[in-house]
Amino acid sequence: MSKILIVDDSSFARNSLSLLVQNGGHEVVGYASGGLQALEMFESLQPDLVALDYLMEDMNGEEVLREMLLLNADVKVIIISGSGDHTLKQRLLETGAKMFIEKPDVRGRILNVIDQVMQA
Amino acid sequence: MLGNQSKLTSEQNRIFDRFLIDSTEKTIRALENVFGLQIDSSSSSIEISPFLDSEILKRLGGGLLYTVSSSMLGDLQGRTVLLMRADDFESLSEVMRPILTMLFLSHPDTDLSALSNGRPDWMTDDSGKNGSDQAFQDQIMDTLAEIGNILIGLYTKAIYRNFDLNSHHSVPKALRDPQQHTIRQCQTSLETRDDQHLVIENEFVVLGKTIKLWSLISPCRQSFGKILGNIEDRQKSPPGNTAHCPGQALISVSY
């Protein structure tokens, strides 16, 4: 079981992802609706893994990822994105994200991806 | 620059047709994946037209709309707007009610003891149909914004696959729009009256409810020129398995 921080500005996305990962036996230790809140919770909750939305109002996922890496270079972040940017996945993986999931694929992939990232 | 829809060539029609089929198929799959719902059937149309001449947009009619707006950035710049009529939004709300109820009840932050005197009004059928419960309205508007986020992302991906233009979008904003301000904003932001738009009408059938969604992709004039230029550049590529619609810019497909 992993302790997971969920970061997404959509409550629908947060809640549905929460249900998926809890059904997979993981613990959701916190929910953040923006980048700044995510960074605060990341420091205080020390999750094993962060499920991080890319497109958010106050900071985008890339900015949040960079800040988290400064706080903990070993952080395990899965980026979840609805963006159509063709270059985004490669850029985020090079920045330090462990995995990248497109939003329509979350339901089918998230538990396998969590297992892969935690076992790596 | 095209002045009106009749000037599209058969090759341009073919590529726009492919774009419609591509984006619609991905949209259906995405909605099924995100909500765990089966979408039984759908019909779709695309029109490349000046805003004021759009036959598809005229079918929206007057009255209350629910909209999701986002800016397009990158190779293709402009604006994307999803538009939904009030009755379609009602249908979406009814389809989403059990899903949102389940998410609400299963969320660890929900104080289930507070429900001992009965469920919130929005969980009952009648209150939601009246649209009177603010909590449910907030939930469904948030869901609409997320649907918009996913669909606009799928459109930008389809634009990349079909027109070789890499773009992304800003955080989408969902809005209840009783006066159709969103449409007026699109009109006033035109550079010229002849600027071309991609207007898409999708009809989905979910749990027996028919839901129509209009999408307006409004590239700036220079970006639309890039689309046509890239179609010309790709004319030697092998054709896809889509039907030709020579001499027409209004294309429809059914699933």
Report the chain B residue with the minimal C-alpha distance to residue A109. B33
Q: A43 — phi, psi (to 5°)?
A: -70, -40
Specify which residues B215 forms β-bridges with: B82, B200
Higher pLDDT, A117 or B43: A117
B71: closest CA of chain A, how far (Å): 12
Q: Which of B34, B36, B160 sits opposite A84 (nearest CB)?
A: B160
Residue B135 contacts A, CB cutoff 8 Å = no
Alpha carbon distance A76, A81 (integer Å):
16
pLDDT, tens digit (0-9, with 9 covering 90-100), for A25-47: 999 999 999 999 999 999 999 99
Residue B108 contacts A, CB cutoff 8 Å = yes
What DSSP letter does each residue of B121-150 carry, written as one string?
GGGSHHHHHHT--HHHHHHHHHHHHHHHHH
pLDDT band at B236 (very low <50, low <70, confident <90, very high): low
Q: Which two tokens stand for residue A5?
A: 């921080």
B110 SS3 class: coil
Alpha carbon distance A34, A13 (integer Å):
13
pLDDT score for B246: 32
Residue B134: exposure state from Cβ atoms within 10 A (0-12, 13-18, ≥19): exposed
Q: Residues 6 or more apart from B153 whose CB is under 8 A from it?
A: A81, A82, A83, A84, A102, A103, B169
Q: Which parts of chain B fold into alpha helices (H)?
A: 10-35, 55-58, 86-106, 125-130, 134-163, 181-188, 221-233
Q: Residues 6 or more apart from B134 whose CB is under 8 A from it?
A: none
Residue type, B85: R
Domain definitions of chain B by residue range: 12-107+128-220+227-254
Domains: count for chain A: 1
A120: closest CA of chain B, how far (Å): 27
pLDDT score for B127: 46
Alpha carbon distance A60, B188 (integer Å):
30
B96 SS3 class: helix
Structural domain span for residue A69? 3-119
pLDDT band at B217 (very low <50, low <70, confident <90, very high): very high
pLDDT, tens digit (0-9, with 9 covering 90-100), for B4-23: 454 778 888 888 888 888 88
Residue B104 contacts A, CB cutoff 8 Å = yes
Q: DSSP secondary-structure letter at B108? A: T
Report the chain A residue with the minimal C-alpha distance to residue B153. A84
Candidates B101, B138, B150, B167, partner chain A, best to mutate (most A CBs within 10 A): B150
Query: What is the CATH number for A102?
Result: 3.40.50.2300
Distances (CA, A) of A1 to A29, A53, A111: 12, 21, 11
Cβ separation A87–B150 shorter than 8 A: no
Q: Which two tokens stand for residue B85?
A: 């009529």
Report the chain B residue with the minimal C-alpha distance to residue A15. B103
Task: Kindly tell me the sign of the dihedral angle through the C-alpha atoms of B178, B179, B183, B185.
Answer: negative
Q: Which two tokens stand for residue B26?
A: 């991905």
B19: closest CA of chain A, how far (Å): 14
Nearest CA-CA partner of B100 in B66, B137, B150, B148: B137
Alpha carbon distance A78, A97 (integer Å):
6
pTM, to two decimals: 0.85
Cβ contacts below 8 Å, chain A against chain B, sum to 90
Question: What's the ipTM?
Answer: 0.92
Query: What fold does the segment set B12-107+128-220+227-254 form as a domain?
Result: Chemotaxis protein chec (3.40.1550)
Higher pLDDT, B227 or A76: A76
Residue B137 contacts A, CB cutoff 8 Å = no
Evaluate whether A101 touches A109 at the Cβ level (below 8 Å): yes
pLDDT, tens digit (0-9, with 9 covering 90-100), for A68-80: 999 999 999 999 9
